[in-house]
Amino acid sequence: MKTIKQSMSSTISVPNNFQTNYKYWDKMDINVKIHRTYEGLTPDSLFAMALRINKKRQFLFVSKLIAKHLAVHPSLALGTGTLLASLLMESAGDSAHPQTKEIARMIESQKPSSKLMRKALEYRIALSEKTLFLGMAETATGLGHAVFQHFKQADYIHTTREEIKGQTPSFVFQEEHSHATDHKVYAPAGMLEKAETIVLVDDEISTGNTLINLIGALDDQYPGKEYKCLSILDWRNDSQKKTMAQMAESRGIHVEVLALMAGEFELIHSESPEEESLDFLSGTSTVLLNRKAEGKALPYSSQTQQRYLTYTGRFGLDSSTHAEIGSWAQAAVKTVESGAKPLVIGIGENMYLPLRFALELDGAPLVQTATRSPIYASDSEGYPIKEKAKFSLPDAEGIDHFLYNVNRLDVDKIYLLAESVIDEKSWQPLLAYLEKKAPVEWISMTAAERSAQAE
């Protein structure tokens, strides 16, 4: 009978007795303990704490690495995926990625290096088993890609919150504490069936319930797989680890958990804060749409007719196609004017392509992705989320989107990467907001029509 295995490679994991308390006003009081960490990394380089506008869970570990709620250099986000990929390589009996020590130093020092990351991206191996990588929407879609980028002869797909017209998901599962609970997977025929190992990638494991739900949904339909779970943070306590172990034992499956940092937290008190009503962005801009980087759209569309690009991985992606993303990014960058301090903005689940686009830019690029997650903003000293903007887009299907701290960034150029643009008018409020900060390049990544080949 196979059971769960908790592991962090002994060659790069060290004990840690870090303890601290995060307390914001009378709304949140949390004690955090770190037990083990990737060698060279400290909590301050990985996360900050914030309050979330969510009755189910009122606090949030805000990642300083994944380019979601906070803007980061692309090499930090991509390098985080490299460290997780290296954990997987060692778990599979292979050598560690050769640049791990340099990347860990880069992350800890917050001194990014595009040159180091481009070199690190060249290292790719093939695993002995047929492997499928699965990234978790919305925060870990890019992180899943950033792990997958180091493996040959494998496949990648990410969960999605979106409803695809005329398509039935391969499976659906729940994330109870999220602001949007339903995850769907639209896998091509045979992808899940042929996989021997499924690697689940998330930025944080808090209780383990989401992983249990996901593994259960997969095992019900595609039994007999081995599972490896990769995450930046693993906060499960002993009881929660035992629950996952019992699930693995009852199903007769092998589940291994690998994380850059493991510990636990004690929630003393938290409540969802009240904040002043935030108006939606408004206004119009003078920005013209750049369609020079467009690629063929897949034969799928959302309920609002939005199109999708192969490279995002929402409908499955193999290693050979994934390897084309570097060339796509280089070509896309040639279609825009450069800036010395550029900011690249992605939308929702489209996180990895903005990272690769930004890595090809000159200067000191930053990347940030709009999110559905509503976080409390306060200009208080030490609090990470200072200000936010709220807007709506047609592909969001009535769900609000947010951008945080944009006005606090030192940038001289903004690139807004849109996976699909059908109704240009609906983008005007966001463009007008960004245009007040710096000159904007608005880039469409898919043609408005479906791929003729796909028809």
pLDDT of residue 455: 38
pLDDT for the residue 12: 52
Nearest to 236 by CA among 197, 269, 202: 202
pLDDT at 102: 98
The mean pLDDT value of the chain amounts to: 91
Q: Please state, in angstroms and rounded to a whole number, the distance separating the CA atoms of residues 414 and 430.
A: 12
Residue 110: Cβ within 10 Å count: 12
182-185 and 171-174: which strand pairing?
Answer: antiparallel
Tell me: the pLDDT tens digits for 374-406? 999 999 999 999 999 999 986 666 789 999 999
Which pair of tokens denotes residue 382? 């030490």
pLDDT band at 15 (very low <50, low <70, confident <90, very high): low
| Sign of the four-CA dihedral 136, 141, 147, 153 | positive
For residue 181, name the pLDDT band (cuts at 50, 70, 90).
low
Per-residue pLDDT of 290-325, as tens digits, reads 998 888 889 999 888 889 999 999 999 999 999 999
**How high is the pLDDT of residue 175?**
67
C-alpha torsion sign, points 148, 153, 159, 163: positive
Q: How far is CA 98 from CA 14, 113, 120, 180, 360, in A?
A: 19, 16, 8, 38, 22
pTM above 0.85, yes or no: yes
Give residue 336's identity as a one-letter amino acid code: V
224's CB contacts (< 8 A; 6+ apart) are: 253
Note every long-range contact of 264-269, with CB atoms under 8 Å and residues 24 or more positions apart, other chains counting: 264/32, 264/33, 264/35, 264/235, 264/236, 264/237, 265/30, 265/31, 265/32, 265/33, 265/235, 266/30, 266/31, 266/33, 267/29, 267/30, 267/59, 268/29, 268/30, 268/31, 269/28, 269/29
Q: In whole angstroms, what is the distance from residue 175 CA to residue 167 CA?
A: 21
pLDDT digits (tens, 9 = 90+) for 68-98: 999 999 999 999 999 999 999 999 999 999 9
| Residue 266 pLDDT > 70 | yes
Residue 428 CA to residue 179 CA, distance in Å, equals 26
Whether pLDDT at 11 is above 60 = no
| pLDDT for res 14 | 65
Cβ atoms of 47 and 21 closer than 8 Å: no
Evaluate whether 158 touches 135 at the Cβ level (below 8 Å).
Answer: yes
Range with lowest mean pLDDT among 54-58, 100-104, 216-220 = 54-58
Nearest to 3 by CA among 252, 213, 259, 225: 252
346/367 Cα distance (integer angstroms)? 8
What are the contacts of 91-94 at 24+ separation with CB within 8 A?
A: 91/7, 91/9, 91/228, 91/256, 91/258, 92/127, 92/128, 93/128, 94/125, 94/127
| 320's tokens | 């050979």
Residue 454, exposed/middle/buried by CB under 10 A (0-12, 13-18, 19+)?
exposed
Chain-centre distance for alpha carbon 43: 19
User: Token pair for residue 418?
Assistant: 């849109």
CA 331 to chain centre: 24
CB 440 within 8 A of CB 431: yes
At 160, the amino acid letter reads T
pLDDT of residue 451: 46
Q: How far apart are CA 188 and CA 128, in angstroms?
A: 22
Please compute Rg for the chain using Cα positions.
21
| 179/57 Cα distance (integer angstroms) | 9
Rounded to 5°, angle at Cα 173 from 169 and 179: 110
Q: Give the burial class of 399: count Cβ atoms within 10 A of its Cβ; 0-12 exposed, 13-18 middle, 19 or more buried.
A: middle
pLDDT tens digits, 406-438: 999 999 999 999 999 988 999 999 999 999 999
Question: What proportion of the chain, given as a percentage, has pLDDT over 70?
Answer: 92
Domains along the sequence of the chain with CATH: 12-270 (3.40.50), 289-450 (3.40.50)
Angle between helices 209-221 and 238-251 (to 10 degrees): 0
Longest dimension (CA), the chain: 64
Q: Is 436 helix (H, G, I), strand (E, B) or coil?
A: coil
At residue 396, the pLDDT reads 64
Q: What is the average per-residue pLDDT within 139-168?
A: 95
Residues 267-286 have pLDDT tens digits of 998 887 888 899 999 999 99
For the stretch 213-241, pLDDT in tens is 999 999 999 999 999 999 999 999 999 99
Pairing of strands 13-15, 28-38: antiparallel
